[in-house]
Amino acid sequence: MSLITWTAEQFGTDVDFADEEHKTLFGKLNKLHELATDGADRSATGAQLDDLIAYVVEHFTHEESEMQSKGFDGYASHKSEHDALVGTGAELQKKFHAGEAEVTEEFGQLVKTWLENHIPKFDMAYSGALNG
Ligand code: FEO
CA of 13 to the centre of ligand 1 (A): 10
With 0-12 CB in 10 A as exposed, 13-18 as middle and 19+ as buried, what is 127? Answer: middle
CA of 50 to the centre of ligand 1 (A): 18
Percentage of residues of the chain with pLDDT beyond 70: 100
CATH number for the domain harbouring residue 115:
1.20.120.50
Q: How many CA atoms lie within 13 A of 31 on its CB side?
A: 16
Domains in the chain: how many in total?
1
How far apart (Å, rounded) are the C-alpha atoms in residues 116 and 48? 21
For residues 28 and 49, is the Cβ–Cβ distance under 8 A?
no
The mean of the pLDDT values for the chain is 97
Residue 67 CB less than 6 A away from ligand 1: no
Domain that holds residue 111: 8-131
Residue 122 CB less than 6 A away from ligand 1: yes
In this predicted model, what pLDDT tens digit does every residue of 70-96 receive, in sequence order? 999 999 999 999 999 999 999 999 999
Residue 1 lies in a domain: no
Run of H or E residues at 83: helix 75-97
Mean pLDDT of 54-83: 98
The pLDDT confidence band at residue 39, using thresholds 50, 70 and 90, is confident
pLDDT above 90: residue 1: no
